[in-house]
Amino acid sequence: MRTLDHFHGGIHPAEHKLESSELPSRIAPLPSLLILPLHQHIGAGAKVQVQAGDHVLKGQLLASAQGMVSAAIHAPTSGTVTAVQPHTVPHPSQLPGLCVHIEPDGKDQWIDHAPLEYRAIPKSELLAKLREAGIVGLGGATFPTHVKYSLATDQRIQTLVINGAECEPWITTDDRLMRERAAEIVRGIEVLRHLAEPAETLIGIEDNKPQAIAAMRAACAGSDIEIVTIPTLYPSGGEKQLIKILTGKEVPSGGRPTGIGVACSNVATAYAIHRFVDHGEPLISRQMTVTGNVRTPQNIEVLIGTPLEELVRLAEPLPGATGYILGGPMMGVHIDDLRLPVVKGSNCIIVKSAKLFPPAEPAMPCIRCARCAAACPADLQPQELHWFSKARDFGKTQEYSLFDCIECGACAYVCPSHIPLVQYFRFAKSEIWQRERETQAAEIARERHEFRMERIEREKREKAERLALKEKAATAAKPAAPIAAPVMINPDADPDDTLQMRIDAAMTRAKEQAATAQPRNTENLTPQQQAKVAEIEARRAKFSELASNAGADDESSKKS
């Protein structure tokens, strides 16, 4: 029996897991519409490769990964791309992001795909393939898997931790997945073991999921993967917390687990990897819990891009919905609009009702009881962080390790004054990021400005040197016939040619040129090139519209 470590603090919120964990999971029917945001993972958004009107097959690439930290997006079913345009995405801002909209044709026709003999290819190639398959961490952080397992040559992974803790209340996707697809998960874990070559592999599961533990034990029988039962305590499913429990090692502040020889992935990620290597399927669907104020809370396998509305309908919502939570009640995002699509990072949708989720109690001033500090799994001082965030003293919040806060909400849960502590921490973090961006922009501007000043200086100097040289040459060549003056003077220039006239002439010239200019070399364009041309034309049109609007504004302001 492995001796377990424990992390600081932790809480026991009401679990609410039985509601959805006992029904077998089902597969959602094809939705009427799919909306696929290009930015579903941490890192750079994917680069769109299709355009409106294209017919796509199931599993076809819609957008390719851009840069190292990025992942591709694929068509979840066959159909027609109806638009590539902004749509509200599941993000706390509820702002629109660019999405590919697909109307399914109902045939669900696969593109050619085949299993991958991953042991026969170099690891770098396997990682590149995972990137092209759009595999990201499905535990919630959506960190691209290929980045996590791209290890430096001197990096050794001692422990591979597979996260099956699922500590957040209400959510049961990993539980159901482990019960129903244990063997498949293990196939995926084998791929991760091949990549990381760990000395030991541990699967951490909270003791409130006995069936999942039994199923995983059975699937791992005969292999050296060890299932470790851990006590139920929120947030034991946090990456750093789970690593602490299982290995006793602490991930340093600002560091990555790989830095201390540990790699950590979620069971759902392992399952997605299995789908890819054993069936050749990119990441196009995932399991989600639909629970809360619905008649049949359950787990549903759903295509990425399905509108949440259609997903929730499958669980028969009850009257009296007061809103929705995307994710769990502790760390999820509260939304009001169900037209948002399912993305790779969505693991749960909870329908709120006044009874299940009563409105937050009014807050009172902090009484410095330090209960928050006792509950904080990151061993922070939330009361101090709260104080400094409230006073906008962001330098101090950083001194108190604000960025070690995992926004788990344990502090706010225990706070007797009902202070929305996490909201303060999120506010402070985004203010600090904003400042970071501004400082960077200022730094770039400063460099560019200094470069420009230097350039102007240099040009002046060079000009002076050239002039001096020319003068010298001129004096030397004086006896010879004086040739054309160095400056060309327009022979038919009117002496009273004003600046304005020259400008007008230039404008008409530019207009004529624009009018007579015929597009050249426009035959045999590839669709991509055509799309580019169309894009540029649209941009031009927008500019001229903007300019005419601005002009109109100017005129109206002049009149007034």
Burial class (CB in 10 A: 0-12, 13-18, 19+), 511: exposed
Window contacting other proteins (CB under 8 A); options: 220-228, 289-297, 523-531, 545-553: 545-553
Output the six-digit token pair for 88.
Answer: 């509200």
Does 448 sit near other proteins (CB under 8 A)?
Answer: yes
Closest approach of Cβ 19 to ligand SF4, in Å?
25
CA distances from 36 to 144, 299, 304, 559 (A): 17, 21, 7, 48
Q: Answer yes or no whether residue 441 interacts with other proteins by CB under 8 A.
A: yes
CB of 106 to other proteins, least distance (A): 32
**Residue 161 interacting with ligand SF4 (CB under 6 A):** no
Strands 61-64 and 96-104: what pairing?
unpaired
Report the partner that residue 58 touches, choosing among other proteins, ligand SF4, none (CB closer than 5 to 8 A by kind): none
Per CB under 8 A, the list member of 1, 14, 95, 480 interacting with other proteins is: 95
The nearest distance, CB 506 to other proteins, in angstroms, is 4
Read off the tokens for 418: 């009902």
Closest distance to other proteins from the beta carbon of 502 (Å): 9
Two structure tokens written together for 368:
């410095």
**Binding status of residue 453 toward ligand SF4 by CB under 6 A:** no
Select from other proteins, ligand SF4, none the partner in contact with residue 382, using the beta carbon and a kind-dependent cut-off of 5 to 8 Å. ligand SF4
The half-sphere exposure of 206 on its side-chain side, counting CA atoms within 13 A, is 22
Neighbours of 554 (CB within 10 A): 10
Q: Identify which of 195, 137, 187 has the alpha carbon closest to the alpha carbon of residue 163.
A: 137
Using rule CB under 8 A, residue 339 touches other proteins: no
Nearest distance from residue 531's CB to other proteins, in Å?
19
- Distance from C-alpha of 519 to C-alpha of 68, rounded to nearest angstrom: 37
436: tokens are 């970071």
> What SS3 class is residue 194?
helix
Beta-carbon count within 10 A of 42 CB: 16
408: helix, coil or strand? coil
Please give the distance of CA 381 from its chain centroid, rounded to a whole number. Answer: 29
Per-residue binder mask for other proteins (CB under 8 A), 133-152, x = binder:
--------------------
Give the number of residues in contact with other proteins, rule: CB under 8 A: 52
CB count, 10 Å around CB of 344?
Answer: 26
Sign of CA dihedral 259, 263, 269, 272: positive
The burial class, CB within 10 Å (0-12 / 13-18 / 19+), for 535 is exposed
> Out of ligand SF4, other proteins, none, which partner does residue 544 contact, by CB within 5 to 8 A per kind?
other proteins
The piece of 58-66, 140-148, 286-294, 449-457 that touches other proteins (CB under 8 A) is: 449-457
* Smallest separation (angstroms) from other proteins to the CB of 38: 11
- Interface segment toward other proteins; rule CB under 8 A; list 21-29, 58-66, 90-98, 305-313: 90-98
Residue 468 or 506: which CB sits closer to other proteins? 506
Beta bridge partners of 539: none
Contact between 544 and other proteins per CB under 8 A:
yes
Terminal Cα distance for the chain, rounded: 84
Q: How many CB atoms lie within 10 A of CB 10?
A: 21
Longest dimension (CA), the chain: 106
Of the candidates 362, 479, 486, 519, which one interacts with other proteins according to CB under 8 A? 362
- Binding of other proteins at residue 534 (CB under 8 A)? no
Cα separation, 68 vs 37, whole angstroms:
19
- With CB under 5 to 8 Å by kind, the binding choice for 187 among other proteins, ligand SF4, none is none
Per CB under 8 A, 435 contacts other proteins: yes
- Residues contacting ligand SF4: total by CB under 6 A: 30
Task: Indicate the helix (H) or strand (E) that contains 96.
Answer: strand 96-104
Contact region for other proteins (CB under 8 A) — 175-183, 287-295, 300-308, 509-517?
A: 509-517
Would you count residue 408 as binding ligand SF4 (CB under 6 A)?
yes
Dig out the tokens for 376 from the structure.
């904080």
If contact means CB under 5 to 8 A according to the sort of partner, which of other proteins, ligand SF4, none does residue 368 touch? Answer: ligand SF4
DSSP string, 324-347: EEES-TTT-EEES-TTSBP-TT--
Amino acid at 351: V
Residue numbers 474-513 binding ligand SF4 by CB under 6 A: none
364: contact with other proteins by CB under 8 A: yes
Verify binding: residue 409, ligand SF4, rule CB under 6 A: yes
What would the x/- binding string for ligand SF4 be over residues 366 to 395, using CB under 6 A? xxxxxxx--xxxx-x-xx--x---------
- The CA distance from 330 to 439, in Å, is 33
Q: Residue 90's closest CA among 336, 291, 277, 273?
A: 336
In the bound state with other proteins, the residue whose beta carbon lies nearer, of 4 and 333, is 333
Contact 510, 526 (CB under 8 A): no
Q: Does 430 bind other proteins (CB under 8 A)?
A: yes
Binding test (CB under 8 A) with other proteins, winner from 52, 199, 467, 510? 510
410: phi then psi, degrees, rounded to nearest 5: -65, -40
Taking the complex as a whole, the smallest distance from the CB of residue 328 to other proteins amounts, in Å, to 19
Least separation in angstroms between CB 361 and ligand SF4: 12
Q: Which member of 86, 92, 416, 551 binds ligand SF4 (CB under 6 A)?
A: 416
What DSSP assignment string belongs to 24-59? PPEEPPPPS-EEEES--SSSSPPEE---TT-EE-BT
Site residues (CB under 8 A) for other proteins? 39, 89, 91-93, 95, 97, 360-364, 420, 423-424, 426-427, 429-431, 433-435, 437-438, 441-446, 448-449, 451-452, 499, 503, 506-507, 509-510, 514, 540, 543-544, 546-551, 554
Site residues (CB under 6 A) for ligand SF4? 366-372, 375-378, 380, 382-383, 386, 405-411, 414-417, 419, 421-422, 425
